Amino acid sequence: MSYDVDLFVIGGGSGGVRAARTAAATGAKVALAEDSRMGGTCVIRGCVPKKLMVFASEFRESAHLAQQYGWSATAGDFNWTQFRTKLNDELDRLENVYRNLLNGSDVAIHDARATMKDAHTVSLSNGETVTAETILVATGGRPVRPDQTNAHLGMVSDDIFNMETLPKSILIIGGGYIASEFACILNGLGVQVTQYYRGAQILRGFDDEARGLVADMMQEKGIDLHLGTNIVEMRAAADMDDDMRAPMGAPVPEAGPDAVGKPVWVKATNGDARVYDAVMFATGRAPNSHGLGLEDLGVQINRRGAIEVDDYSKTAVDNIYAIGDVTDRIQLTPVAIREGMAFTETVYKNNPTKPDHELVASAVFTQPELGTVGLTEEQAREIEPIDVYCTSFRPMRSAFADRPDRVLMKLVVSKETRVVLGCQIVAEGAGELIQMVGIAIKAGLTKEDFDRTYAVHPTMSEELVTMQNPVRSA
């Protein structure tokens, strides 16, 4: 049977674009549909704009630090409008880069929503239909609001980048990496930040010791973090009588004239009740799998909404594949890109390739950052006997300025093989450091290999190769 194209990719994020380009490079005729902005979550409303906001938020602390080193430095006021304008210009530039890459690869772009008419036919929201031998779903994920009365009054992470003005106060609900990163970012930009998390400690799933230090440092920097706390009720502040705003007698901060949207009154499980200029939900993400017509074709979607795939990213329908966050395997951009490349190797290069999901390094861009690769201490001790090498200290840069910042360096080592099973770093620049450590751990190096490596002095990271004795075994 003859088809319009060999491959149709649904989704123009990093994974979909990489798969489309690499497939086209083999001679395949490829088309791609994206109903929003090209570049997807990471480029337009995730990693890239978030990291630029991280950079912006660090300068106030840098100015304070500079004073301790003899500079007459002040951070002044942050101009959100100026930053946001430049940020949007940069995102426009990056979107054009992605479009140019696709055009340069002879990938046909459809700026439309795509749904499945049948296993080989894509219906586009502009009225067109395209037939394809193979379909690749790379639609990513989206932030979700909780099923709660008046949840529409709160923002989600996508909305942060579109704020017309910066709020004076914000309540962030959630304890994952998105909630914690934005708590640090907005705090650094001068916003009064309160964070509620219903669990016992933020950053669930990360190393206990590492996330504990991150939480301590966040509070040290002024974030009002409440653990074991959730919201009971939220209403538009304009709908509340003055005597209802703070039933426990707590002070009610006035919403500033430049507040984002309408101020929100929130009551918490701890009895606190107050008004915030803005509320942000960072309580989870969901795969963008529904409404595509996949279930009707026999594609299996699990309870979380993720498309189920085999080791080669193939769904239950032979010619339909899925990669990236819509499969809910590892929600990281570099993983989606690797899955896209493995798809091309498997389908168009006759080289069946499984995406490698083992020992993937990652970073949480809190302040301080948390870098991690391999097993946490808690995970490792459930598998085998381990030695833990760990040190925590004030780095030279902060100690000289009499700042309270602390660093954590931790190696988790197999007692039997001496292989380093995992590494955790909490420090400024931990994301940069963990990339290099990730290479060593991916290579299966032992603690003795680390020990044979000379230290670069004076640096924080030299501790990774100078820790001689385990602090504990398990």
Supply φ then ψ for residue 251, to 5 degrees.
-65, 145
pLDDT per residue as tens, the chain (474 positions): 899 999 999 999 999 999 999 999 999 999 999 999 999 999 999 999 999 999 999 999 999 999 999 999 888 899 999 999 999 999 999 999 999 999 999 999 999 999 999 999 999 999 999 999 999 999 999 999 999 999 999 999 999 999 999 999 999 999 999 999 999 999 999 999 999 999 999 999 999 999 999 999 999 999 999 999 999 999 999 887 654 444 333 333 433 333 345 899 999 999 999 999 999 999 999 999 999 999 999 999 999 999 999 999 999 999 999 999 999 999 999 999 999 999 999 999 999 999 999 999 999 999 999 999 999 999 999 999 999 999 999 999 999 999 999 999 999 999 999 999 999 999 999 999 999 999 999 999 999 999 999 999 999 999 999 999 999 999
The answer to whether residues 282 and 157 touch, using CB atoms and an 8 Å cutoff, is yes
Distance CA 324, CA 142 (A): 12
List the chain domain ranges. Answer: 5-143+285-348, 151-281, 362-469
Fold of 5-143+285-348: FAD/NAD(P)-binding domain (3.50.50)
Distance CA 179, CA 177 (A): 6
Distance CA 339, CA 353 (A): 9
- Rg (the chain; Cα; Å): 24
Dump pLDDT digits (tens) for 358-374: 999 999 999 999 999 99
Please give the single-letter amino acid code of residue 337: I
Question: Residue written as tokens 């017309």?
Answer: 164
Nearest to 372 by CA among 408, 338, 342, 404: 408
Q: Tell me the pTM.
A: 0.94
Residue 415 burial (CB count, 10 A):
12
- The 3-state DSSP class for residue 19 equals helix
- The 3-state DSSP class for residue 196 equals strand
Please give the single-letter amino acid code of residue 194: T
Distances (CA, A) of 227 to 231, 239, 416: 12, 28, 38
Strand (E) or helix (H) holding 130: strand 129-137
Domains 5-143+285-348 and 151-281 share a fold: yes
- Characterise 54 by phi-psi region: left (phi > 0), alpha (psi -120 to 50), beta (else): alpha
Q: In residues, how long is the chain?
A: 474
pLDDT of residue 242: 54
Q: Which residues belong to the active site?
A: 457
pLDDT of residue 1: 83
pLDDT of residue 74: 87
The structure tokens listed for 221 are 């920097």
Distance CA 122, CA 113 (A): 10
- What distance lies between CA 189 and its chain's CA centroid? 19
Residue environment code for 256-289, b if the CB has 16+ CB neighbours within 10 A, otherwise e = eeebbbebbbbbbeeebbbbbbbbbbbbebbbbb
According to DSSP, the residues that pair with 393 across neighbouring strands are: 407
According to DSSP, the residues that pair with 14 across neighbouring strands are: none
Dump pLDDT digits (tens) for 61-115: 999 999 999 999 888 899 999 999 999 999 999 999 999 999 999 999 999 999 9
Distance CA 461, CA 442 (A): 18
Strand (E) or helix (H) holding 275: strand 273-276
Please give the CATH number for the structural domain made up of 362-469. 3.30.390.30
Fold of 151-281: FAD/NAD(P)-binding domain (3.50.50)
Nearest to 372 by CA among 320, 420, 307, 325: 420
The structure tokens listed for 344 are 């091309």
